[in-house]
Amino acid sequence: MPHPPEDADRRRTVPPVIVYPNDSLPRPDPARLARLREDLKMVGNVTVPPREGRCIEVPKGHVFRISCPEGSQVGDLNLWNVADLSERFFSGKTRALHGTHVSTGDRLWSTLPHLRPMATIIHDTLDWYGIDEFGGGVHDVIGTRCDPYTHALLSGGERYEHCCHSNLTRALADHLDLSFEDVEPHIHDVLNVFMCTGFMRDSGKYFMKASPARQGDFIEFLAEMDLLIALSACPGGDCGATHSSDEAICHPLKIEVLRPDSTLS
């Protein structure tokens, strides 16, 4: 059995260093974000049925709002530059820049070599949640998305085709009028909207717990470029117990596209 090095205790107690301090990262102007919300006119919307996905386009400078119209429900979100699907949401870099969970004032960043804001969170009714006693928070960029491949791996071969990966793929295929196989490579790691997650302190294992979102809760984003977004209403419902199954109570999600008063933007 290997022995720890002589300085093991010292190494374990060395304090961590934050790689990307907040004061080194370009931040949006909070006053401008507040002004943008003063006069919003809805110009489009789509309802995402339970265990399904939908796409919608959001012009640059517009706001999109994701809400729980009927009850607690987690959603898996993908974003692309509408003119170039190879520029898409980079959850790993967003996590490195902002942390494991995002909220008002944080940005969703695009893939390399672009690395630019795709959307900025301008309002979040779950801002109050913070980080709980278990290390859990809301709107995570640490999970991936439920998918039929992992489900088959863990279940001995059984596939589940209403997981978020498949829902997002079908939604994108329908929107672009392409095949499932053609668009599947464009599906990527997600922002888990309304999901409550963290890492177990004793093992480092990823966990999920019931979302604190309730009927009427919402999160709003400012589109920093012309976007195509896809959202899946996760088959886990509030993701408090089950995942990738038909067992959980699920609700629809709603996406609204809103145009700010041009004089305020």
Q: For the CA atoms of the chain, what is the radius of gyration?
A: 19
Confidence of residue 154 (pLDDT cuts 50, 70, 90): confident
Q: Which residue has the tokens 């978020």?
A: 164
Query: Tell me, what's the pLDDT at 21?
Result: 82
The answer, yes or no, to whether residue 156 has pLDDT greater than 90, is: no
pLDDT tens-digit series, residues 108-145? 999 999 999 999 999 999 999 999 999 999 999 998 99
DSSP state of 142: S
Query: Tell me, what's the pLDDT at 262?
Result: 65
As a 3-state breakdown, the chain gives helix, strand, coil percent values, each rounded to 5, of: 20, 30, 50
Confidence of residue 242 (pLDDT cuts 50, 70, 90): confident
pLDDT tens-digit series, residues 31-57? 888 888 999 999 999 999 999 999 999
Between residues 132 and 264, which one has the greater pLDDT?
132
**Amino acid letter, residue 252:** P
Q: Which residue has the tokens 């309730």?
A: 214
Between residues 109 and 19, which one has the greater pLDDT?
109
pLDDT tens-digit series, residues 191-239? 999 999 999 999 999 999 999 999 999 999 999 999 999 999 999 999 9
**Amino acid letter, residue 19:** V
**Mean pLDDT of all residues in 91-103:** 96
Of 117-131, 162-176, 239-253, the poorest mean pLDDT is in 239-253
Chain length of the chain: 265
Is 0.85 surpassed by the pTM of this model?
yes
- Mean pLDDT, the chain, as a whole number? 93
How many whole angstroms separate alpha carbon 93 and alpha carbon 89? 9
C-alpha torsion 199→205→206→210, nearest 10: -80
